[in-house]
Each structure stands twice: as C-alpha cells, then as structure tokens.
Amino acid sequence: MTTDDTPDIALKNTIRQAALARRDALAPSWRADISARLAGVDGPAIALDPGAVVAGFHPIRSELDVRPLLARLADHGARICLPAIVDAHTILFRRWIPGAALVEMALGTVGPGDSAEALDPDVILMPLSAFDRHGGRIGYGGGFYDRAIAALRTRGLSPRLIGVAFDCQQADRVPTEPHDIALDEILTESGLRRLPY
C-alpha cells in the first residue's frame, strides 16, 4: 500500500524492468540505424542556438547511442559535455570533444577525466529506463541526474531537459517522488516531442 508521500517502489522497479526488457529486445543494427538517423543528414534532430552547451551521455547497455547526434551538434557549433561521476552521489558535466578519450567511472560508465573543464549545460540529454507522456522519467535508481539538475537550479540555471529513449520504453504512467524532476521533451525514433503530449 502506498500514499502520496510514499511511491510504490516495487511498481517503479516493475516498470523499469519491463521497459528495459523491451529495449534489450530491439535489434542492435536497428538501434544503430536510429542513432545515425537522429544525427540527420539534413541537420540534427534538435535545433539549438550557436554556442549552446549540450550535455549528452556515453551509452551503456542497450541505450540509444547519442554520440552521432553529439558530433553533429558539435559540427553546428554546440559545446558538448558528458556526465562524470565524482562521488557516490554526484555527477558534474565536463567538456568533451567528440572522439576524445574517456576514462572509466563508477557504475560501468565512462566520462571526461579530471582535467576536463566543468560546464553548465543549456540542454541535458538524459538517459532513462522508462518515461510517460506527462514528463515522468524512471532512470536507473541512483538519482544522479535529479541531484545534478537540482544543484543547477539552486544556482538560478534552468537547462532544457530532453529524455532520450526508444518509443518502446514509454509507460502509461510512472510513479514519481517529490525529488523527481520532470522532462521538458522526449527524443525517440518518432522525433522530438514536447511534454506533456
């Protein structure tokens, strides 16, 4: 039994596992085609102001690979950064030149090393396990992005939050907790959509 103050963690885990199973079932070649398509021969799937700072991520498991999109955005003048796990609770966004070497981080991830410049992103492309049409997002359970975005907001910054996923990861409704930060938009193989829709 849950209350408004105590979300159903078991339901969240069930939704996460089901969405990830659907994502894992997608053919690797198809996932790669979608990743390339979002970079776009006629321009990237996301329009940005010149010089915008875009935080992406290095894909793990069967995530949509945003590296081709990040490279294309960099070609259009965006400055790119990736999350770097600096301790058990914190990520920072550090400058990354597409193709530059990355170092191993916690949780099986890689990111820019300590010498890379820390940047405040204007846009954050966020990996996720599941999402809903209302902007709800289920990550992997660590809360890194929620804390990082909350820290940016306490400094008066308000980055554009774009979830990145495949359509099959959409759920009817994801349970949320008070600290969960809603997405502004979702980018899938169907394109970029504002939330809610």
Phi, psi of 127 (to 5 degrees): -70, 160
Confirm or deny that 15 is annotated as ligand binding. Answer: yes
The rounded distance, in Å, linking the Cα atoms of 147 and 1 is 27
Two structure tokens written together for 91: 């990520």
Phi, psi of 55 (to 5 degrees): -95, 125
CB proximity list for 41: less than 8 A, separation 6 or greater: none
Confirm or deny that 13 is annotated as ligand binding. Answer: yes
Confirm or deny that 143 is annotated as ligand binding. Answer: yes
Task: Give the helix ranges, DSSP H, for the chain.
Answer: 9-24, 28-39, 67-75, 144-154
The rounded distance, in Å, linking the Cα atoms of 127 and 138 is 9
Confirm or deny that 141 is annotated as ligand binding. Answer: yes
Two structure tokens written together for 164: 């990145």
Confirm or deny that 139 is annotated as ligand binding. Answer: yes
Contact 165, 186 (CB under 8 A): yes
Q: Is 89 exposed, middle or buried (0-12, 13-18, 19+ CB in 10 A)?
A: exposed
Confirm or deny that 14 is annotated as ligand binding. Answer: yes
Confirm or deny that 138 is annotated as ligand binding. Answer: yes
Confirm or deny that 145 is annotated as ligand binding. Answer: yes
Confirm or deny that 137 is annotated as ligand binding. Answer: yes
Confirm or deny that 144 is annotated as ligand binding. Answer: yes
**Alpha carbon 83 to its chain's center:** 10
Residues at the binding site for ATP are: 12-16, 137-145
Residues at the binding site are: 12-16, 63, 137-145
Residues at the binding site for substrate are: 63
